[in-house]
Every structure is written in C-alpha cells, then in structure tokens.
A and B are shown apart, each in its own frame.
Chain A
Amino acid sequence: MSTTALTCKNIEVDFDGFKAVNGVDLTLDRGEVHFLIGPNGAGKTTLVDAITGLARYTGSVTKDTAGKGAVELRGKKVHHIARAGIGRTFQTATVFENLTVAQNLDIAAGAGRSPWTLLRRRAHLPANVTAVIEQIGLHEHADTPAGILAHGQKQWLEIGMLLVGDADVLLLDEPIAGMGADERETTGRLLHDIAATRAVAVVEHDMDFMRAFASRVTVLHAGTVLAAGTVDDVSNDPRVQEVYLGTTHTESDMEPADAATA
C-alpha cells in the first residue's frame, strides 16, 4: 500500500529575513518510513513545525485522504491540522506526567468527544487504547503515572498517543534520542509496524538507525533538499558526503537542490 498521504510544495519559512526552510518539496507515502536527515540548522524541525501549523510559511501542504480528496493545510490552526490526521512528537518526549499511561492515551483518543462525554467519568478504556497499549509494549504500565516511565517508554507513549488519535501522517522528531541499543531496535520495528497503513516521517541524526530502518531518505541542508532517494542513493551522493564530512570547497552548499533527485 503506497499512496501519497502528504504533499509539501515549495515550503518557505522566513524568520525575519533568515530562510530556515527555502523551497522544500516533500511527499510522504503510506507504507514508508521516510527519514529526514541533515546537519544542525538544516531546517528539519522547522519543516515539521510548518506542516503542523506552528511556524508560518509560504507554499502548500496538502493532505490526501482516501475518498475525501486533497485538503490544503496551510493557514489552519494547530488543532485543526491535528484533527486532519497529522500527528507529531517533540524532541523531548512530551507526555502528561501526572496522568497514567491509560489516561494519556484516553485523552489522545478523545479529540472528537462531546461535552457530555467529557463531563462524565470514563467507564472503561476505548478498544483502540487497549490495543495500542499492547502495541507500544506498555500494557504492564497502564496505571503507571507517565512521569515515572523510562525515557524510551515516554517516547513510545507519545507515539502511541498519535496512534489512538488516528493520525494518518506521523512526524517524529528524534524518536530515539537518548535510547539504548535494544530500545532503538524496538522503536525501529514499531515504526515499520505502524507505517504499514500510515505515512511515517522521522527527523533523525543517527545514521546507523537511518540505514537500518529507512524506506526513503530526504537530506536537508541549509533549508533546501540536497538529495532524496533510497539509503544507498543518498549515501553515495557526493554532495551529501561533502555536507556531512566537509571534504571539498563550500560554495556549492548554497546551490538549490537538483530537481532530478527530488
């Protein structure tokens, strides 16, 4: 299943004259784990901020939903974009520390609840919440306050919160930062698992993790797309090697992305 879920065209984010993102095109397909890599300041997180409504931009982001057609997301409010099926995580896992794992997921699953439902007690957990608790491996911690979970478990909980909220496009900002080898492996498999029916984009610095789990890679540099393709395509691209290793002169750094690689 490889249908396009999200299409970004010519995204530009301007911070008072500094173009943090400068004309980026990006498509995210369902069934793929799409890695966004690039050096610090390349504009990866800013791009995610733009898509999710946190940063103002020019260009266009459209969400394709089977049966509903394409919807333009630019100019919509953050919570409307989230309701449209775009879910994101943050560099530092952001969960509700004073609430239990089950409560965290129940809140994430309930964005469409009526006031009447909200004002009553939760009789039982929704079915999708119990399923996701299982999927993210936290079934033994359902009643644990999220604040005392291990670092990696918080990241999984945050991903789980997007799953119960029926996010169709998941934008994950450094989901394995600070994780041990086993946790990385588990996270990688979880990402492939959930990407079966969804589009997953991962902003990441870790090259080993990228090589092991990426279906497709887009390299950003200085706000533009430097290269895009499979892991091998990208690793063999001399410009990518230059940016990452700094082998030759730096004039070409500011060159716009080659259209053929996009």
Chain B
Amino acid sequence: MTRFLATRAGIWTGFAAAALVLFGAAPLLLSGFRLGLFAQFLCYAIVAVGIGLAWGRGGMLTLGQGVFFGMGAYLMAMHMKMADAEFRNGPGSVPDFMELAGIRELPAYWAPFSSPAFTIAAILIVPTAFAVLLGFAVFKRRVKGAYFAILSQALAGAFAILLIGQQSMGGFNGLSRFRYFFGYNLDDPVNQQMLYFIAAGVLLVVVAVALQLRRSRYGELLVAVRDAEERVRFLGYDAANIKVVAYATAALFASVAGAIFVPVVGIISPASIGIVPSIMFILGVAIGGRASLVGPVVGALAVAAAQTALSEQFPSAWTYAQGLLFIVVIALLPGGIASIAAATKRFRKEPATAEATA
C-alpha cells in the first residue's frame, strides 16, 4: 500500500480521499460545535506539516513555532478588531479593548490593518521574512542541534512576554470578541462552516506543497544536510541557504494557520503562542512521525482530539496522559504512528531474516 501511495495515481487517490473526508464526511457527521473544534485542530495540523518539513526532513528542532503562529494570528486579529471598530464607530476609531484600557488614539502601526489586502500580505510576508533573517543569522553561524532548539524556544517565551506587556495589543488577555471576518458575520453557522472549509482547503494545499518539496531535488538535498551537513558544504553548497528555505516555509505555514485560527476560535492571547503551545505543536509531530508526510497531520489531529476528549472527561488527567504518550512513542516507536506499519512488518520478519543473515 505504501508503494502504491508513492506513485502518481496513488498521490491523487490519497488527496481525493482526504478531500472526501474533509469536505464530505466531516461536515455531514459533525455538529456545528464539533466542526468548529475540528477546524481548530486543522490549524494545528497546518503548523505540524511545516514542522515535519523543518524538523523531520531538515533536522531543525523548531521548538518555537508559536512565534510564527502568533504573528499570523495577531496580524489577523488586528485587522478584525479594526474592522469591528470601523463598523461600530466609523473609520479611524479605536477598537473596544483599547477604549477599556484608556487608549484614545489609535497607535500608528494599527492603522494599515484596516486594509484586508495589507493584512493578508503581512500575514504571508512578515513571519516568512523574519524567519529568513533569523535563519541566516543562526544557520550561517552554524548554530544547530540542541542550541537551535533552545534558541527557538526562548524566542517563543520572549515573544509571549513581549505581548503580555503591550496594552495596545491586548496584553495578557489578548484579542477577542470578533464580529466579522472580511465582512462575514461570525455568528452565522454558514460562515463558521466556511471557515472550516478554508482551514481544510489550506491544509490540503500545504500538504501538497510539502509533498512537492519532499519529492524534489531540494527535498533530497535537505535530507542530506540533515544527515551530514559538513559533507554538503564540502560539495560546494551553502548549507545555511538550504536550511533557511525549509525554516521559512515552516514559518509561513504556521503563520497562515494562526491567521485561520483567530476567526475559528475567536480569541488569541499570549497563552496560545508561548512555550507550552509550541511544545504541543512538536508533540503532535513527534507522535505522528516527523519524517513522514502525513504523520505530522495525523499526530497533530490525534493529540488535539485526545486533549479535548480527555479534558472533557477528566480535566486534570490530560497532562499525565500527554506525558505518558510522549514517553511511549519516543521509547517504543521513535518513528511515530507513521512507522507502525514498517515496525510490525520488521517484527514479523525478524525470526526469518535473523537466520538468513547469520
């Protein structure tokens, strides 16, 4: 089956099946509330695809994807707050949370976000450009491994703390109470379903982009850099450039996911983008199987669903279950859920091959 999925026909079949589930089965079977939750999980899955690329294929343990997720989310939230304020009090008026905080003048950096086009461009460009600059600074100096992981995690922590201190960005409470998404009323169930479809569509596009990157020569080169960076450098490549591409792509995916997350969930606060959420992103990818294409998606969805289900039943048990899950996967199944098929095959074959090679 895995062999078939690697062929052209197999890829189309896989995408068709996924589209059927996402656009056909899920909206039919799930209630509006559950579909909204599923849309939220799909946002996590979009982040996971990027992590799968940067970490699974490129070896960069991106412990701070919350930064890029948060950038996309806050940029979108700023636009939605501006649009709401304009709808209530006319152009140039101050969003409601600023009024409560006593801010009378609209800060200058908020003004351009009344434009939808500017906002979308910012969501696509700002986090990507930031990742490119950061990537060059870090990878040109050959910072890698645990040092890179710690650096990116610290960045996520710093970003959350920075936002908590900004009253004009909602501070600790973040930005919430959105009414409109590009003119569509968010209370309308039809529009909520539309948001779900956007999340599902973006996930398919992001998986397709990741697939192309994996199958391209670039994808082979990325694996080469992950496994033997020095060798690649001594073949005449600048390894930093190769890593930056994967890192920036992962940042772009996370930013888009954050931008969709805001209208779906209706709130963004520093608590959703700091160190703990960043580790949650990694956890899903590790459990699903970081080196595979679909593994991160499955892992992210599974972890998010398990978290929701368990915290509904036993509110305090989730943290323990999460830790246990992580230990079990790392100890018994380092390749994640995606490697179960290969692992069982190996397990069955072992007695036979052991004799053959002896």
A interface, CB within 8 angstroms of B:
52, 77-80, 82-83, 87-88, 90, 94-99, 103-104, 106-108, 110-113, 117-122, 161, 165
Interface string of B226-255 (1 = CB under 8 A from A): 011011111111110000000000000000
Q: Check B217 against A165 for contact (C-beta < 8 Å).
A: no
Residue among B213, B216, B228, B233 making CB contact with A78, cutoff 8 Å: B233
Residue among B223, B228, B234 making CB contact with A82, cutoff 8 Å: B234
B256 within 8 A of A: no
A99-B220, A118-B217 given as contacts; is B227 within 8 A of A79 (CB)?
A: no
B interface, CB within 8 angstroms of A:
212-213, 215-218, 220-221, 223-224, 227-228, 230-239
Pick the 9 closest A-B CB pairs, nearest first.
A111-B236, A82-B236, A83-B236, A118-B218, A96-B224, A94-B231, A78-B233, A118-B217, A79-B238
Q: Nearest residue in A to B226 (C-beta to C-beta)?
A: A98
Q: Check B231 against A95 for contact (C-beta < 8 Å).
A: yes
Give chain A nearest CB distance to B228 CB in angstroms.
5
Q: Check A119 against B213 for contact (C-beta < 8 Å).
A: yes
Q: B-side binding surface: helix, strand, loop or mixed?
A: helix
Give chain B nearest CB distance to A201 CB in angstroms.
15
Chain B residues, Cβ within 8 Å of A87: 234-235
Q: Check A121 against B216 for contact (C-beta < 8 Å).
A: yes
Q: Check A94 against B228 for contact (C-beta < 8 Å).
A: yes
Give chain B nearest CB distance to A111 CB in angstroms.
3
Chain A residues, Cβ within 8 Å of B231: 90, 94-96
Q: Check A117 against B217 for contact (C-beta < 8 Å).
A: yes
CA distance A83 to B233 in the complex (A): 10
Residue among B215, B223, B228, B237 making CB contact with A111, cutoff 8 Å: B237
Give chain A nearest CB distance to B242 CB in angstroms.
9
CA distance A80 to B237 in the complex (A): 8
Residue among A52, A107, A113, A121 making CB contact with B232, cutoff 8 Å: A107
Give chain A nearest CB distance to B163 CB in angstroms.
35
Chain B residues, Cβ within 8 Å of A113: 217
Chain A residues, Cβ within 8 Å of B227: 96-99
A94-B228, A96-B227 given as contacts; is B221 within 8 A of A78 (CB)?
A: no
Q: Check A107 against B233 for contact (C-beta < 8 Å).
A: no
Give chain A nearest CB distance to B171 CB in angstroms.
42
Chain B residues, Cβ within 8 Å of A88: 234
Chain A residues, Cβ within 8 Å of B212: 119
CA distance A5 to B170 in the complex (A): 65
CA distance A94 to B228 in the complex (A): 7
Chain B residues, Cβ within 8 Å of A94: 228, 230-231
Q: Nearest residue in B to A109 (C-beta to C-beta)?
A: B235
Chain A residues, Cβ within 8 Å of B239: 79
Q: Check A107 against B218 for contact (C-beta < 8 Å).
A: no
CA distance A188 to B273 in the complex (A): 59
CA distance A106 to B224 in the complex (A): 11
Give chain B nearest CB distance to A92 CB in angstroms.
11
A119-B218, A121-B216 given as contacts; is B223 within 8 A of A96 (CB)?
A: yes
Residue among A52, A77, A78, A103 making CB contact with B220, cutoff 8 Å: A103
CA distance A98 to B226 in the complex (A): 10
Q: Check B235 against A107 for contact (C-beta < 8 Å).
A: yes
Q: Check B224 against A79 for contact (C-beta < 8 Å).
A: no
Chain B residues, Cβ within 8 Å of A78: 233-234
CA distance A117 to B235 in the complex (A): 18
Pick the most buried of B215, B220, B238: most chain A CB atoms within 10 A of its CB.
B220
Give chain B nearest CB distance to A89 CB in angstroms.
9
Residue among B223, B234, B237 making CB contact with A99, cutoff 8 Å: B223
Residue among B213, B224, B234, B238 making CB contact with A52, cutoff 8 Å: B234
Q: Nearest residue in A to B212 (C-beta to C-beta)?
A: A119
Q: Check A165 against B236 for contact (C-beta < 8 Å).
A: yes
CA distance A100 to B239 in the complex (A): 20
Chain A residues, Cβ within 8 Å of B230: 90, 94
CA distance A112 to B230 in the complex (A): 17
CA distance A107 to B234 in the complex (A): 12
Q: Check A107 against B216 for contact (C-beta < 8 Å).
A: no
Give chain B nearest CB distance to A55 CB in angstroms.
13
Sampled A-B contacts (17; CB under 8 Å): A52-B234, A78-B234, A79-B233, A79-B237, A80-B236, A83-B236, A87-B234, A87-B235, A94-B228, A96-B223, A96-B227, A103-B220, A104-B224, A111-B235, A111-B237, A121-B215, A122-B220
CA distance A110 to B216 in the complex (A): 13
Q: Nearest residue in A to B218 (C-beta to C-beta)?
A: A118
Q: Check A121 against B217 for contact (C-beta < 8 Å).
A: yes
Q: Check A96 against B228 for contact (C-beta < 8 Å).
A: yes
Q: Nearest residue in B to A80 (C-beta to C-beta)?
A: B236
CA distance A87 to B223 in the complex (A): 21
Q: Check B217 against A110 for contact (C-beta < 8 Å).
A: yes
